[in-house]
Structure 1
Amino acid sequence: MVVVSGLRKNFISDYDGLADQWWDPRGPLAPLGWIARARARFVPRPERPDARLLDVGCGGGLFGPHLAGRGYRTHGVDLSALSLREARDHGFDTVTQADIHRLPYTDEAFDVVTAGQCLEHVPDPYSAVTEMCRVLRPGGTLIVDTIADTRIARFVAITLAENIPAPGRPTPGTHDHRLFVNRERLLSTARAHGVELRLVGLRPHFGDGVRYLADKREEVRMIPIRSTAVLYLGVGKKASAS
């Protein structure tokens, strides 16, 4: 999803052009919805009545339905204006067009900050994580999922996923392996800003995948695994102020 300018000349227009496909269960953005459901399992119960959640790189708002009724005021930020319209129409209370390297929020403004499948699309994901930690209040939860900078991830996410004709296939050229996110550096960046992340891998449920390809199922469950070598999620709390 679009989160920063300057990645390549046509990047914003790529996602603006896909804005009407965010909610197509067999379209190129469908897997992002599967991952959003998995991410939602890590969102904690709000600890106060006015709790706020920020979804960074929210795209068309695929995370929104999974937050409904959970007690958060939801905010989404993205660079794609057309995608933000979709997010607003699908449950986000507030949406803002902005660069995630310079989040337009005050320090410690949110109880939960999430970022799903966006860090691997920005030239400096670690500065983006720094910003996410900045706007997260002490005791708040950071949740990010992204793609590892490994050879196997490059093979799975690009060679296979983008080149095998199938429903849910990402548009060829969606990913640039040079932007895949180093796990150790992600951990150290978050740690330097008070968040100790725990990593878990994710993969599609095999049986669901088979039924999805056979047009017998509209969604594929993502299940947790030990290996973080391809798709992984990090979750952790920001240390409380001493």
Structure 2
Amino acid sequence: MAVDNDVYNTHSWWHDDQPFATLEAFTPARFDYFHDVLTNRLRLDLAGLRVLDVGCGGGLLAELYAKAGCKVTGMDPSGPSLEAARAHAAESGLEIEYQQGFAEKLPFPDGTFDVVYCCDTLEHVTSVDQAVAEAVRVLKPGGYYLYDTINRTFRSKLAMIKMAQDWKSVSFAPKDLHDWKSFIKPAELHEVFRRHGLANQDLIGFASKRPQLELLKAMRSRARGEITYGELGRQFQLGVHKDTSVIYAGYARKAAN
């Protein structure tokens, strides 16, 4: 099964009853973790920090970074997604630069950004190795790479493929959004980091705070049309967790010289 990245050209990003509204509900947990990393652990001043969002989609994370004071550039291969991102940023009064391009060939000079983040994207690229190499290239010396992606485990196949996509009684994601074979084990990703001069600094998981039975009931309600995609996402109550078997995240540092 191949990943169907064309779904990003057809689905709305900012509407509560569209599939990507579930992603919007997951976004705060991602941002809270990375914001804590940047401000509390690394003690960075976000005002004017040059940040690149690789695979920005409709701008869900980019807008949160912009609101925090960062100078944000969003990059994505999907023209329709970028149109949605630009329109929503304008409606929100946010200045975000959006450009079309691919993670494997970023359209930016060497050493441009203080921070590059790649969230819910690495499992969609053609080459993880090249995507990481390009991120390192455009990072300034001593810059930081933030990431989250999906682990390749039995649990991730059950949760992200079977339940999220295949089983109609509970599914909520577009068919073929993900391919289990494209998921990445943390050790594999960290080996790619080492090859390209990134030193991993942290590894955490994301998981729901709700009991699994309650989540299944919510997913069935969404499948029956009783609640919106956005409401389903909010009911997941995603948060930082020690379990990295499905979704994991972390950050890495580029050498300073």
Q: State TM-score, norm by structure 1.
A: 0.84
Written as runs of structure 1 = structure 2, the 5 A alignment for 1:159-174 is 159-165=162-168, 169-174=172-177
Deviation at 1:95, TM superposition (A): 0.8
Seen in structure 2, the aligned counterparts of structure 1 residues 121 and 48 have a Cα distance that, compared at 3 Å, is closer
Checking the alignment, whether the CA contact within 8 Å between 1:30 and 1:168 is kept in structure 2 is no
> 1:224 pairs with 240, 250, 254, which one?
240
Checking the alignment, whether the CA contact within 8 Å between 2:136 and 2:198 is kept in structure 1 is yes
Q: Considering fraction of residues, name the structure with more helix.
A: 2
> 1:32 pairs with 5, 23, 39, which one?
23
**Helix, strand or coil: the match of 2:184?**
coil
Seen in structure 2, the aligned counterparts of structure 1 residues 26 and 196 have a Cα distance that, compared at 3 Å, is farther
Measure the CA separation in 2 of the matches of 1:164 and 1:190: 35
Checking the alignment, whether the CA contact within 8 Å between 2:132 and 2:196 is kept in structure 1 is no
Letter in structure 2 aligned against 1:53: V
Measure the CA separation in 2 of the matches of 1:120 and 1:48: 28
> 2:149 pairs with 146, 171, 175, which one?
146
Checking the alignment, whether the CA contact within 8 Å between 1:29 and 1:168 is kept in structure 2 is no
Measure the CA separation in 1 of the matches of 2:73 and 2:248: 23
Larger radius of gyration: 2
**Helix, strand or coil: the match of 2:58?**
coil
Superposition CA RMSD, Å: 2.6
Corresponding position: 1:62 with 2:60:
yes
Measure the CA separation in 1 of the matches of 2:156 and 2:46: 39
Measure the CA separation in 2 of the matches of 1:30 and 1:82: 16
Corresponding position: 1:234 with 2:225:
no
Written as runs of structure 1 = structure 2, the 5 A alignment for 1:59-208 is 59-91=57-89, 93-165=96-168, 169-197=172-200, 198-206=202-210
Greater displacement, 223-232 / 27-36: 27-36
Checking the alignment, whether the CA contact within 8 Å between 2:66 and 2:96 is kept in structure 1 is no
Checking the alignment, whether the CA contact within 8 Å between 1:25 and 1:168 is kept in structure 2 is no
Deviation at 1:166, TM superposition (A): 7.0
Measure the CA separation in 1 of the matches of 2:125 and 2:107: 17
Checking the alignment, whether the CA contact within 8 Å between 1:28 and 1:168 is kept in structure 2 is no
**Helix, strand or coil: the match of 2:199?**
coil
State the Cα deviation string for residues 131-178 of structure 1 (Å, max 9, x = none): 112211122221111111122211110011113447881111111111
| Percent identity of paired positions between Structure 1 and Structure 2 | 31
Checking the alignment, whether the CA contact within 8 Å between 1:60 and 1:87 is kept in structure 2 is yes
Deviation at 1:94, TM superposition (A): 0.7
Seen in structure 2, the aligned counterparts of structure 1 residues 97 and 168 have a Cα distance that, compared at 3 Å, is farther
Letter in structure 2 aligned against 1:85: E
Checking the alignment, whether the CA contact within 8 Å between 1:111 and 1:141 is kept in structure 2 is yes
Structure 2: gaps (5+ residues): 90-94
Seen in structure 2, the aligned counterparts of structure 1 residues 68 and 51 have a Cα distance that, compared at 3 Å, is closer
Greater displacement, 37-46 / 172-181: 37-46
